[in-house]
């Protein structure tokens, strides 16, 4: 509640409307993340409107990285909740520290001696204090004094009950703890939820979020990304590399190469001192971008064959790959 | 003034949202409020940003986004045209000044068609939307004049495209070296510009808007005819694959009916001095059935069944054993084809070429297929196996041999029937669904990806 005015104030200086989303894009770029227009616009809106963002897209397009970059760009600390099957309140919200509570009860009853009965109520109040509360990521994000970026990663891995529990956090930015009362957010956290779309999320959750679909970037953008993370790489080679990655992604693979793997591959080529991607280099380093036995065969057959056979034969190479 | 303007925009946005709702998007008041808040933060003049801001608040899945884009184009186009009609007599200013180019086009036969084609190719290759829009106007002006207009927008678009010699992947007709190749995507965008220009012309001519028509269901239906884009088929397969691969997880995560694992609970209780504060549950494993798929591949249902087979094979990890058969008049096993080939198009070709299932007439003969299957394969069936039949149950007037089918279902544990026709058409004409349905565990209609997903869910359910 108290933080609502602060967002309104935040919207104030933004009045020259054109600058807002470009500013977000530039800030992200400065943090080492080259966002496309829709990604930077939605991030911008999320900050302005104080709404969570649901980011969906294939694995490895930089969904998690976007949250990290936002945290760097805004200077807010990142709190991350990695979701998995069977994740429950105790791991996501808060948990009572049973052991400490037991100890306290034993200590109290020992101190009270034989007529320990009247102390019961006091102990009861006592052991449900903040001292015995273990904060988990969601509560930590809500209770934090400074504004944070909260990343709820792979929300589609959890079950629907967990989603329902998130609703209170996401729409009102508060958490009800029966024994303590309601914890309200000091400042509205910037929330990103990522999903691989492996399961349909509930309408109720989607309703509370802005939606962003991230896809593999265009060739130009990916070249920029690769060059940003492997600055020593030759420009032509970077472009060639991204084109080959594009060819690999075209195939029906179990796991298409992600952007991170493009970068890894670029670094590997740098280490090996390769100045050209020929069939031999490709076959030797292929395992960096392809991680499945069957995929390896397929890629070697469909892509490896089409690359120039050996170095030094530029002319025919251009003809075969073009 | 500004307030009045805002009211107008609010009205427009609400009616836009109404239209989205009619297309089946789940848009609540909360979304509408969000979209109002979002457009406050983007410049009005930038169409792309305005669209993204609305999409982020209104379209909450990729499917929704697809529909959103279509409705957005259609709706804002219509809104602009309606405005233009209402202001008729003042001037036709709505077209942000590109009227001039239109005038230049009307000016004449001066347009050199070859030059125009070259420019269009270049614009498509560059992906230059503004140039494409202007050139579409020119093209419509140039070809509309020759009296070729049929009055049906869709027909005219194709006619203009063909007379411009634009086909995907082709270089220029004269094979000149500087010609650029056009990709399908670029061509599609140019076509949409053409369509818009033609519609605009039509509205100008008649002075009123054509009735709004909901988007065709085709966009959402299963690929049931071969002319549909294979890429679209492929996309839906990959999506299904991902979603179905994790189906088991959902069941495992479910709370109801879980069984406490006493051993692990006791071990966990050591932490709390032997008091079992946290319960541990036994994990649920999804069923991994043995599956026999029988697919009708006669012309009426080919694509649906090949599509279905590809999906099952993409998912073969989820099954203990998967054997697939195709049939028309005879039955033949194709399990190996699917193991070798990954390309949907290739599989489709191979099955149609050397499936060896058509005999003389090429009409489906369900009765004969059951008899053959009983004789050759049914010895392998046991109560753990699941038989799935995909077909429209149209026997072309031949004996359905329902008794043979009944024997077959007795041997198998479960039998499902998928019918690619809507339930409404079952048992009409030569469809004998009623004869088979009582013997199946369950029969489904299956003509959208939703149906298919639901079905695979049922099969994998523990």
Same domain, B8 and B136: no
- Tokens representing A18 are 């054109």
| pLDDT at B330 (0 to 100) | 80
CB B443 within 8 A of CB B433: yes
Q: Do B367 and B401 have their domain in common?
A: yes
Q: What is the DSSP string of A67-98?
A: HHHHHHHHTPPEEEEE--TT--HHHHTEEE-H
- For residue range A245-294, list pLDDT tens digits in order: 988 888 777 788 889 899 999 999 888 888 788 888 888 888 888 888 87
Domain span holding position B420: 290-460
Candidates A203, A213, A298; nearest CB to B62: A213
CATH number, domain containing residue B454: 3.40.50.410
pLDDT digits (tens, 9 = 90+) for B31-40: 898 898 888 8
Q: Give yes or no: residues B294 and B278 share one domain.
A: no
pLDDT of residue B193: 78
Which B residues in the span 308-367 are in contact with A, Cβ-Cβ below 8 Å? 342-343
pLDDT tens-digit series, residues B76-120: 777 777 776 666 544 434 344 444 444 444 444 455 777 777 888
Kind and range of the H or E element at B370? helix B366-376
Domain co-membership, B372 together with B390 = yes
Distance CA A68, CA A188 (A): 17
Residues of A in contact with B59 (CB under 8 A): 211
Pair B214, B22: CB distance under 8 Å: yes
- Indicate if B6 and B107 belong to the same structural domain: no
Identify whether residues B282 and B297 lie together within a single domain: no
* CA distances for B299 relative to A246, B160, B305, B335, angstroms: 36, 32, 10, 20
- From B290, B296, B288, select the one nearest B389 (Cα to Cα): B296
What is residue A210's predicted lDDT score, i.e. its pLDDT? 92
Same domain, B273 and B296: no
What is the distance between the alpha carbons of residues B363 and B400, in angstroms, rounded to a whole number?
A: 13
Structural domain count, chain B:
4
pLDDT, residue A102, reads 86
Question: Among candidates A254, A64, A79, which has minimal Cα distance to B238?
Answer: A254
Q: Do A197 and B65 touch (CB under 8 A)?
A: no
Position B242 in a domain = no
Q: How many CB atoms lie within 10 A of CB B18?
A: 12
User: Is residue B163 over pLDDT 70?
Assistant: yes
Instruction: Say whether both B81 and B124 belong to one domain.
Output: no
Which residues of B are less than 8 Å from A211 in CB distance? 55-57, 59-61, 65
Question: Where is the domain boundary, B86, B105, B130?
Answer: B86
- Euclidean distance between CA atoms B146 and A308, whole angstroms: 51
Q: Using 50, 70 and 90 to split pLDDT, how confident is the model at B397?
A: confident
Domain-located, residue B234: no
Query: ipTM of this complex > 0.85?
Result: no
The reply to whether B411 and B441 lie within a common domain is yes
Asked, for residue B229, whether it belongs to a domain, the answer is no
Do the chains contact at A18 and B43, CB–CB below 8 Å? yes
B72 domain residue, yes or no? yes
Residues of chain B with pLDDT > 70: what percent? 61
Q: Is B227 inside any structural domain?
A: no
Which among A11, A83, A15 has a CA at the least distance from the CA of A47?
A: A11
* A84 and chain B in contact, CB less than 8 A: no
Binning pLDDT at 50, 70 and 90, where does residue A115 land? low
Rounded to a whole number of angstroms, the distance from the CA of A251 to the nearest CA of chain B is 9
Give chain A positions within 8 Å (CB) of B52.
37-38, 41-42
- What pLDDT shows up at residue A79? 93
């Amino acid at each position: 509640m108290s933080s609502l005015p602060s967002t309104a104030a935040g919207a104030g200086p933004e009045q020259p409307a054109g600058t807002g989303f470009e500013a977000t894009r530039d800030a992200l770029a400065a943090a080492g993340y080259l966002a496309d227009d829709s990604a930077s616009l939605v991030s911008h809106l999320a900050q302005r409107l104080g709404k969570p963002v649901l980011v969906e897209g294939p694995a490895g397009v930089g969904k998690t990285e976007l949250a990290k970059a936002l945290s760097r760009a805004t200077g807010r600390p990142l709190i991350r909740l990695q979701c998995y099957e069977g994740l429950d309140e105790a791991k996501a919200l808060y948990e009572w520290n049973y052991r400490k509570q037991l100890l306290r009860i034993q200590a109290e009853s020992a101190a009270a001696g034989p007529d320990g009965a009247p102390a019961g109520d006091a102990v009861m109040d006592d052991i449900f204090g903040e001292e015995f509360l273990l904060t988990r990521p969601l509560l930590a994000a809500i209770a934090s004094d400074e504004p944070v970026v909260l990343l709820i990663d792979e929300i589609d891995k959890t079950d629907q009950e967990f989603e329902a529990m998130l609703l209170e956090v996401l729409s009102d930015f508060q958490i009800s703890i029966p024994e303590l009362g309601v914890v309200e957010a000091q400042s509205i956290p910037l929330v990103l939820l990522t999903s691989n779309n492996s399961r349909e999320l509930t309408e109720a959750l989607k309703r509370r979020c802005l939606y962003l679909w991230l896809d593999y970037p265009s060739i130009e953008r990916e070249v920029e990304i690769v060059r940003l993370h492997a600055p020593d790489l030759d420009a032509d080679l970077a472009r060639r590399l991204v084109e080959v990655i594009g060819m690999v992604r075209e195939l029906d693979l179990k796991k298409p190469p992600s952007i991170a793997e493009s970068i890894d591959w670029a670094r590997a080529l740098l280490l090996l001192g390769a100045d050209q991607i020929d069939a031999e280099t490709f076959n030797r380093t292929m395992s960096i971008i392809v991680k499945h036995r069957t995929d390896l065969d397929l890629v070697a057959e469909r892509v490896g064959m089409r690359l120039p056979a050996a170095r030094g034969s530029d002319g025919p190479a251009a003809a075969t790959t073009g | 003034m500004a307030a009045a303007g805002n009211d107008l925009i609010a009205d427009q946005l609400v009616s836009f949202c109404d239209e989205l709702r009619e297309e089946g998007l789940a848009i609540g008041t909360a979304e509408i409020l969000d979209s109002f808040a979002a457009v406050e933060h983007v410049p009005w003049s930038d169409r792309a940003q305005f669209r993204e801001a609305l999409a982020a608040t209104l379209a909450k899945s990729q499917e929704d986004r697809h529909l959103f884009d279509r409705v957005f184009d259609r709706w804002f186009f219509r809104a602009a045209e309606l405005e233009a009609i209402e202001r008729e007599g003042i001037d036709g200013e709505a077209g942000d000044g590109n009227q001039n180019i239109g005038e230049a086009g009307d000016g004449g036969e001066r347009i050199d068609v070859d030059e125009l084609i070259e420019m269009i190719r270049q614009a498509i290759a560059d992906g230059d939307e503004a140039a494409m829009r202007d050139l579409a106007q020119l093209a419509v002006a140039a070809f509309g004049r020759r009296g070729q207009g049929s009055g049906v927008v869709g027909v005219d678009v194709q006619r203009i495209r063909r007379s411009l010699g634009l086909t995907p992947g082709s270089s220029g007709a004269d094979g000149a070296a500087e010609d650029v190749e056009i990709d399908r995507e670029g061509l599609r965008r140019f076509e949409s510009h053409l369509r818009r220009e033609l519609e605009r012309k039509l509205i100008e001519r008649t002075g009123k808007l054509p009735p709004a028509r909901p988007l065709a269901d085709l966009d959402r239906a299963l690929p049931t005819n071969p002319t549909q884009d294979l890429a679209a088929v492929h996309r839906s397969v990959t999506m299904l694959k991902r979603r179905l691969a994790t189906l088991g997880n959902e069941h495992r995560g479910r709370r109801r009916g879980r069984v406490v694992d006493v051993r692990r609970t006791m071990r966990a209780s050591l932490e709390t001095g032997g008091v079992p504060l946290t319960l541990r549950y036994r994990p649920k494993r999804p069923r991994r059935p043995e599956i026999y798929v029988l697919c009708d591949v006669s012309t009426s249902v080919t694509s649906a069944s090949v599509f279905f087979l590809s999906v099952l094979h993409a998912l073969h990890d989820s099954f203990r054993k998967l054997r697939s058969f195709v049939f028309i008049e005879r039955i033949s096993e194709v399990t190996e084809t699917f193991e070798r080939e990954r390309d949907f198009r290739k599989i489709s070709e191979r099955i149609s070429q050397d499936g060896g299932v058509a005999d003389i007439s090429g009409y489906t003969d369900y009765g004969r297929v059951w008899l053959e299957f009983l004789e050759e394969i049914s010895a392998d069936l046991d109560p753990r196996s699941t038989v799935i039949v995909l077909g429209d149950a149209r026997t072309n007037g031949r004996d359905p041999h329902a008794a043979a089918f009944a024997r077959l279902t007795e041997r198998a544990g479960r039998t499902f029937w998928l019918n690619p026709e809507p339930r409404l058409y079952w048992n009409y004409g030569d469809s004998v669904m009623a004869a088979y349905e009582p013997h199946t565990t369950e029969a489904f209609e299956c003509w959208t990806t939703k149906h298919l997903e639901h079905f695979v869910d049922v099969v994998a359910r523990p």
